[in-house]
A and B are shown apart, each in its own frame.
Chain A
């Protein structure tokens, strides 16, 4: 009887160890790891106004696209991994890209395409590089001539420069 009890205890311990293994392996680190690391996190949500419509990275795309009173060209592509389609709407002066999460399209990026428009802070493609810090402050990460400002709600402003002049402006989400 004593031996039987020991065997049962031994088997119970093995089962407990296996169960513990299974539980431990389930634990995943869900911490947000999306920040650049170098840039400052300000209280600003970076966004741009186009044709009177405020466009915010991370915002729902459908309403924004419908509100812009201008024709656009349209592309959509599937993904090699995962479901949903990414979409791209190209207007005269901006391009909006979207990602699909659970059936809803969200704005993932807004690109300024030319100098026909300015950002809400009056930065334009072709502006001097010095204007970037003057208009948006020095709370940014700079790498390869690219200024990255990280704002609230996972929004980012990224300004690309070459030869001391702004060449491209992007508003990003995540």
Chain B
């Protein structure tokens, strides 16, 4: 009997230690998304710290979202509470599942989706998948998101247990991997999902033409997820608004043929669609100053102009109210605004 008890205790103790050791090892080995290391990989996970805040607007989409809309500015000018759930190369299905998850935490009045990612009909890269999905909390939604997103060669189990994917990183571990694994120096990289860029790299030659494509029809798969997002918003009482950021470059070109399809889709489904490429002057954008990478994305100066412009639309056309008289919300945003302004002044 004693021997049996000894065996059970030994095995249990070993398993507990093993699981704990693997958990610690996994934390150490996973890539650290921080202000200095791959900051855009931290965006998904940072949402949870603000999920308890009531957001009237959720911006969702790719880099054209997290580099274009500044929630702190939207609050400062219009008293509208918002969050950006965007990631680099966040594809339509990523956006759908992040939105599905968001609705589990809160009920925004408006969801703003940037349409550029609709051009992708297939998963593009593991790197993008990891940036979007590794930071998601575990749930059925995450499982579905992983299944929809995996590229060839990726496995569901490596998302369940990232140590299986990252164990070879032990060769490149740095001091920061160990400190971050235990939550030391764990800095927030975004301002409510907005990733600040203060550099100025002018766009010298505005892109007027994209490369010819074999087929200009937006892929069925991405359009299916747009349909699903529309239905999801409808079920949750949110208005889905489509936007196209005001940036255009030969690599990420927005074709007239795509514009026609989105126009038609919006009209058929009673959605508002704002293509900001058509109102660059009205917004006051100057691409010799308002971009940090020669016209692919807006820098903070451009993003503030666009946010200011779109805030008026949210207020005047979508009827969003100034909620700055809510003391709790106001106190929260005042703190966020101070952090944002400090980050902006540091450059």
Contacts and interface: CB of A to CB of B under 8 A. Distances in A.
Contacts of B251: 77, 79, 86
Contacts of A121: none
Contact of A22 (B128, B164, B207): B164
Contacts of B212: 111, 160, 167-168, 170
B10 interface: yes
A75 interface: yes
Interface stretch (B261-269, B290-298, B308-316): B290-298
Contact of A75 (B11, B18, B22, B204): B204
Given A7-B11, A28-B153, A82-B127, A88 B214 contact: no
B6 A25 contact: no
Given A11-B11, A25-B158, A81-B89, A143 B215 contact: yes
B204 to A, nearest CB: 7
B246 to A, nearest CB: 15
Contacts, number: 90
A25 B211 contact: no
A70 interface: no
Interface residues of B, number: 43
Interface string B53-90: 00000000011000000000000000000000000110
Contacts of B294: 75-78
Given A25-B165, A78-B293, A73 B211 contact: no
A106 B248 CA distance: 23
A21 B205 contact: no
B3 interface: yes
The 9 closest A-B pairs by CB, nearest first: A25-B164, A168-B212, A80-B88, A77-B249, A146-B214, A80-B63, A28-B153, A29-B153, A78-B293
